[in-house]
């Protein structure tokens, strides 16, 4: 920062000015440290460093009191103005980062494309300036919340998401589960199936590292139904498990209804569960998104007339 008194050009940090202003307002290093939520020696060290760099004595210190010198009193006016300007820059930067993005990076997830498309269209209708290019980013579902926190994704739509640091989970719409089982099973002709009627078959679940939340949800549902399931091989995609069940692989699986192809599935029965099982679809966004932004996402991506 040029133009300060002293020898040469002083290299003043905003942190030092903030500490100086706080001490000047409190006229007590201990109370200033409490306001700043740091240790008192750190405040004293930074103020002393500021005095050395400026070549000025800013405070008169004694065992009984702290008071500003005339130079400190004059500097206080300029320091407050500098900090106010810096805060305005920060506020403008926040507005810019929360403005609509030219490219929206979203995690790609099977079956959620139509909901993403509807939500983006609602945002465009509600905000004429919302004009983005969609970029779908392929990565494992389990990695997507952390990618949002790191800034690698701007948002993602998921079925079930864990809480965590750096992102917020907005639970929005119901996600019903259906049971897939071989067409030759005695329960295949029913209008709905009870989980305990499938206890004799191996349960096909996603691997723990692929989708731990759905895995835990299904296991708990089976235990609530009164049995400990016998586990079969881990599943891949919905299409893969349906193909395996259709071609002689023993077992059954609980799948999100939206991931099951709308075309007729041959040699596999896909049935509602009795009693119904439903997870919650959600939007995951950075923790820094303000409340009004979250409210807009709730409206855009929330349950619509086609949701159960």
Asked which of 75, 98, 121 is the last residue of a domain, the reply is: 98
Residues 218, 91, single domain; the answer is: no
The pairing of strands 278-286 and 155-159 is antiparallel
Structure tokens at 195: 């989980």
Cα 105 → chain centroid: 13
Instruction: Return the CATH number at 217.
Output: 3.40.190.290
User: What are the residues whose beta carbons fall under 8 Å from the beta carbon of 206, sequence distance 6 or more?
Assistant: 214, 215, 234, 235
pTM of the shown model: 0.61
pLDDT reported for residue 218:
95
Q: pLDDT for 278-302, tens place per residue?
A: 999 999 999 988 887 888 888 888 8
Exposed e or buried b per residue across 221-231, where buried means at least 16 C-beta atoms within 10 angstroms of its C-beta: bbeebeeebee
Residues 203, 226, single domain; the answer is: yes
* 241 domain residue, yes or no: yes
Residues 122, 83, single domain; the answer is: no
Coil/strand/helix, residue 136 = strand
Residues 124, 239, single domain; the answer is: yes
Instruction: Return the CATH number at 49.
Output: 1.10.10.10
Q: Contact at 8 Å (CB) between 42 and 33?
A: yes
* 8 domain residue, yes or no: no
Residues 84, 106, single domain; the answer is: no
> Residue 288 burial by CB count (10 A; 0-12/13-18/19+): exposed, middle or buried?
middle
Asked which of 70, 98, 126 is the last residue of a domain, the reply is: 98
Q: What range does the domain containing 78 cover?
A: 14-98
Residues 70, 143, single domain; the answer is: no
* 1 domain residue, yes or no: no
The pLDDT-based confidence of 9 (bands split at 50, 70, 90) is very low
Q: Contact at 8 Å (CB) between 118 and 50?
A: no
DSSP state of 229: P
Residues 203, 279, single domain; the answer is: yes
Q: Contact at 8 Å (CB) between 235 and 254?
A: no
Residues 23, 75, single domain; the answer is: yes
Residues 113, 63, single domain; the answer is: no
Residues 134, 269, single domain; the answer is: yes
Q: pLDDT for 189-221, tens place per residue?
A: 999 999 999 999 999 999 888 889 999 999 999
Largest CA distance in the chain: 93
Query: Is the omega angle on the peptide bond into residue 275 within 30 degrees of 0, that is, cis?
Result: yes
Structure tokens at 86: 């810096």
Residue 19 pLDDT more than 80? Answer: yes
Q: Contact at 8 Å (CB) between 229 and 199?
A: yes
Cα 281 → chain centroid: 14
Greater model confidence, 8 or 23: 23
Based on the structure, what is the number of domains in the chain? 2
Task: 7-13: list long-range contacts, CB under 8 Å, 24+ apart.
Answer: 7/55, 10/53, 10/54, 10/55, 11/53, 12/50, 12/53, 12/54
203 phi, psi to nearest 5 deg: -90, 125
* 6 domain residue, yes or no: no
The pairing of strands 268-272 and 167-182 is antiparallel
Residues 171, 274, single domain; the answer is: yes
- Is the dihedral angle over the CA atoms 215, 142, 138, 292 positive or is it negative? positive
Q: Contact at 8 Å (CB) between 303 and 175?
A: no
* 2 domain residue, yes or no: no
Average pLDDT (124-141) is 80
pLDDT reported for residue 3:
36
Q: pLDDT for 56-109, tens place per residue?
A: 999 999 888 999 999 999 999 999 988 887 776 665 555 545 555 578 899 988
* 75 domain residue, yes or no: yes
Which of 20-29, 88-97, 251-260, 297-306 is predicted least confidently?
A: 88-97
Asked which of 67, 98, 129 is the last residue of a domain, the reply is: 98
Residues 241, 130, single domain; the answer is: yes
User: Tokens 């750096």 identify what position?
Assistant: 166
């Amino acid at each position: 920062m040029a133009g300060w008194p002293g020898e040469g050009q002083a290299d003043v940090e905003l942190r030092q000015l903030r500490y100086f202003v706080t001490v000047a307002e409190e006229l007590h290093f201990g109370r200033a440290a409490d306001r700043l939520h740091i240790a008192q020696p750190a405040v004293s060290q930074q103020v002393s460093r500021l005095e050395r760099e400026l070549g000025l004595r800013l405070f008169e210190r004694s065992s009984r009191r702290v008071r500003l010198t005339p130079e400190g009193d004059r500097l206080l006016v300029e320091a407050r103005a500098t900090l106010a300007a810096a805060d305005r820059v920060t506020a403008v930067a926040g507005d810019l980062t929360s403005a609509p993005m030219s490219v929206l990076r979203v995690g790609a997830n099977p079956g959620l494309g139509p909901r993403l498309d509807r939500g983006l269209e609602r945002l465009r209708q509600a905000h004429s300036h919302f004009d983005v290019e969609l970029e779908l980013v392929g990565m494992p579902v389990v990695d997507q919340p952390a990618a949002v926190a790191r800034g690698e994704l701007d948002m993602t739509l998921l079925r079930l998401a864990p809480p965590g640091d750096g992102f917020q989970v907005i639970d929005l719409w119901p996600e019903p589960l259906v049971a897939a089982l071989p067409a030759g099973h005695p329960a295949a002709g029913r209008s709905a199936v009870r989980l305990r009627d499938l206890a004799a078959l191996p349960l096909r679940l996603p691997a723990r590292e692929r989708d731990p939340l759905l895995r835990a949800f299904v296991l708990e549902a089976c235990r609530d139904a009164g049995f400990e399931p016998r586990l079969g091989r881990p599943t891949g995609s919905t299409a893969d498990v349906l193909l395996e069940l259709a071609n002689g692989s023993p077992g059954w699986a609980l799948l999100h209804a939206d991931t099951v192809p709308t075309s007729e599935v041959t040699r596999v029965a896909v049935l509602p569960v009795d009693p119904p099982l439903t997870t919650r679809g959600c939007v995951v966004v950075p923790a820094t998104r303000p409340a009004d932004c979250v409210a807009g996402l709730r409206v855009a991506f929330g349950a619509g007339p086609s949701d159960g």
